[in-house]
Amino acid sequence: MSTFSRLYRADTSFDFVGNARRWLIISGTIVFVSLAGFVIRGLNLNVDFEGGVIVQVANETNATVADMRAALTAIGLGDARIEFLDSLDGATAFRVRTPALDEALESELVHTVADTGGVGIEETDVEAVGPTFGAEITARAIQALVVFLVVVALFIAWRFEWKMAMAGLTALFHDLIITFGVYALVGFEVTPATVVAVLTILGYSLYDTVVVFDKVTENVESWSDSHTYTEIVNRAMNQVLMRSINTSLTSLLPVGSLLFVGSYLLGAATLREFALALFVGIAAGTYSSIFVASPLLAVWKEKEDYWQLHRRRLEGRREAKLTKASAGRTSAPRAARPPTVGGVTPRPPKKRKKR
Amino acid sequence: MSKRAVTMLVILAVAWGGLALALTNDMAPKLGLDLKGGTSVILRAPEGTDSDVLAKAVEVMRSRIEAIGGVQEPEIQVSGDRNVLIQLPGVTNQEQALSVIGQTGQLSFRPVLAERTAGDPFAGLLDTTTTTNPTPTSTTAPADDSTTTSSSTTTSSSTTTTTTTTTLPGIDPDSGLTIADDPTQPGWLAQYAEDGTIAEVLLVGGTDLMGDQVDEALPFFDPTENRWVVQLGLDSTGADAFEAMTKQAAQYGLYIDPQRRIAIVLDGEIMSAPWVTPDEGIAGGTAIISVGSQQEAQDLSVVLRYGSLPISFERLDVKKVSATLGSDSLQAGLVAGLGGLILVAIAVVFYYRVLGLVTVLGISVFGSLLIATIGTLGRVQGLTLTLSGVTGIIVSIGITADSYIVFFERIKEEIREGRSLLLAVDEGFARAFRTILTADTVSFMGAFLLYALAIGPVKGFALSLGIATVVDVIVAYFFTRNVVGILARTGFGEGGWFSIRGATGVALEGSTS
Q: Is B337's CB within 8 Å of A270's CB?
A: no
Taking CA–CA distances from B511, the nearest residue in chain A reads A9
Rounded to whole angstroms, how far apart are CA atoms A281 and A167?
17
Q: CB–CB of A151 and B351 under 8 A?
A: no
B455 interface with A at CB cutoff 8 Å: yes
DSSP structural state of residue B217: E
Under a CB-based contact definition with an 8 Å cutoff, are residues B316 and B83 in contact? yes
| Residues 6 or more apart whose Cβ sits within 8 Å of residue A116 | A57, A61, A63, A67, A68, A71, A94
Q: Which tens digit of pLDDT belongs to each residue from B401-445? A: 888 888 988 888 888 888 888 888 999 999 999 988 988 888 888
Name residue B44's beta-bridge partners: B83, B314
Q: What is the pLDDT of residue B155?
A: 39
**Per-residue pLDDT at B141:** 46
pLDDT at B67: 67
Q: Please tell me the distance from the alpha carbon of residue B338 to that of residue B325, in angstroms, as a whole number.
A: 19
B503-509: average pLDDT: 61
> From the CA of B429, how many Å to the nearest CA of chain A?
13
Average pLDDT of the residues in B287-296: 82
Residue A262 is predicted with a pLDDT of 61
Tell which of B450, B467, B497, B501 to mutate to test the A interface (max A CBs under 10 Å).
B450
Q: Are B326 and A82 within 8 A, CB to CB?
A: yes
Spacing of C-alpha B404 from chain mean position: 33
Q: Which residues of A touch B326 (CB under 8 A)?
A: 65, 69, 82, 268, 270
Residue B93 near residue B251 (C-beta atoms within 8 A): no
Which of B328, B406, B445 shows the shortest C-beta gap to A151? Answer: B445
Strand partners, B201: B116, B190
CA dist., res. A120 & res. B152, Å (int): 67
| Contact between A54 and B79 using a beta-carbon 8 Å cutoff | yes
Query: B-contacting residues of A 262-321, CB under 8 Å?
Result: 262-263, 266-271, 274, 278, 282
Mean pLDDT of B37-47: 80
Q: How far apart are the CA of B173 and the nearest CA of chain A, in angstroms?
A: 37
β-pairing, A189-190 vs A44-45, is: parallel
Taking the C-alpha atoms of residue A144 and residue A151, their distance in angstroms, rounded to an integer, is 11
> Quick check: B66 contacting A, CB < 8 Å?
no
Instruction: State residue B158's pLDDT score.
Output: 43
Q: Which residues of chain B lie closer than 8 angstroms to A214, CB-CB?
A: 434-435, 438-439
B69 backbone φψ class: left, alpha, beta (φ>0; ψ -120 to 50): left
| Angle subtended at Cα B212 by Cα B209 and Cα B218, rounded to the nearest 5 degrees | 100
**Cα B493 from chain centre:** 48
Residue B147 DSSP one-character state: G
Residues 189-218 of B with CB under 8 A from A: none
Chain-chain contact of A268 with B326 (C-beta, under 8 angstroms) = yes
In angstroms, the CA B307 to CA B45 distance is: 17
Question: Chain B, 316-375: which have a CB under 8 Å from a chain A CB?
Answer: 319-322, 324-326, 328-329, 331-333, 335-337, 339-341, 343-344, 347-348, 351
First to last CA, chain A: 36
Q: Which chain A residues in 311-340 lie under 8 Å from chain B, judged by CB atoms? A: none
Q: How confident is the model at residue B125 (pLDDT cuts 50, 70, 90)?
A: very low
Burial class (CB in 10 A: 0-12, 13-18, 19+), B265: buried
A352 backbone dihedrals φ, ψ, rounded to 5°: -95, 145
- Spell out the residues 6+ positions from residue A212 whose beta carbon is closer than 8 angstroms to its own: A236, A237, A240, A244, A289, A290, A293, A294
Contact list, B455 vs chain A (CB under 8 Å): 136-137, 140-141
Distance of alpha carbon A297 from alpha carbon B60, whole angstroms: 46
Distance of CA A282 to the CA centre of its chain: 5
Contacts of A217 (CB under 8 A, 6+ apart): A160, A352
Where residue B507 falls among pLDDT bands split at 50, 70, 90? Answer: low
Question: What one-letter code names the amino acid at B366?
Answer: F
Q: Is the pLDDT of residue B43 over 70?
A: yes
- Residues B255 and B151: their CA atoms lie apart, in Å, by 9
Put simply, whether A211 touches B (Cβ < 8 Å) is yes
> Is B136's pLDDT higher than 60?
no
Question: To 5 degrees, how large is the angle CA B145–CA B151–CA B152?
Answer: 120
For residue B148, the model assigns a pLDDT of: 37
Residue among A315, A310, A294 nearest A346 (CA): A310
Using an 8 Å Cβ cutoff, are B259 and B252 in contact? yes
User: What CA–CA distance (Å, rounded) separates A250 from B81?
Assistant: 49
Rounded Cα gap, residues A199 and A285, in angstroms: 12
**Contacting residues for B308 by C-beta, under 8 A, at least 6 apart:** B60, B105, B106, B107, B210, B211, B212, B214
CB atoms within 10 A of CB B17: 12
- Which chain B residue's Cα is nearest to A263? B332
Buried b (16+ CB within 10 A) or exposed e, A80-102: bbbbbbbeeeeebbbbbbbbebe
pLDDT of residue A355: 45
Q: Would an 8 Å CB–CB cutoff place B399 in contact with chain A? A: yes
User: Are A148 and B449 an interchain contact pair (Cβ–Cβ within 8 Å)?
Assistant: yes
Q: How far is B485 from chain A (nearest CA, A)?
A: 21
Chunk chain A into consecutive blocks of 10 residues (it has 355) and report each block's average pLDDT, rounded to whole numbers.
67 79 90 91 81 86 84 83 74 84 87 87 82 77 86 91 92 91 84 78 82 89 85 86 82 80 60 77 87 89 88 84 62 46 50 49
C-alpha–C-alpha distance, residues A313 and A321, integer Å: 12
CA distance linking residue A87 with residue B319, whole number of Å: 5
Chain B CA closest to residue A194? B388
**A12 touching B, CB under 8 A?**
no
State mean pLDDT over B351-370: 89
Q: Which long-range contacts (CB under 8 A, 24 or more apart) does B379-383 make?
A: B379/B27, B379/B30, B381/B69, B382/B30, B382/B69, B382/B70, B382/B71, B382/B72, B382/B90, B382/B92, B382/B93, B383/B29, B383/B30, B383/B72, B383/B460, B383/B463
B80 in contact with A at a CB cutoff of 8 Å? yes
Alpha helices in B382-456 (DSSP H): 387-416, 421-453
> Which pLDDT belongs to residue B80?
79
Residue B114 near residue B258, CB atoms below 8 Å: yes
Mean pLDDT of B203-218: 84
Residue B120 · residue B132 · CB < 8 Å: no
Q: What is the mean pLDDT of residues B142-149?
A: 40
pLDDT score for A118: 86
* Range B448-486 burial, b when 16+ CB lie within 10 A, else e: bbbbebbbbbbbbbbbbbbbbbbbbbbbbbbbbbbbbbb
Helical (H) or strand (E) element with B321: strand B314-321
Lowest mean pLDDT among A10-24, A52-66, B107-121, B186-200: B107-121
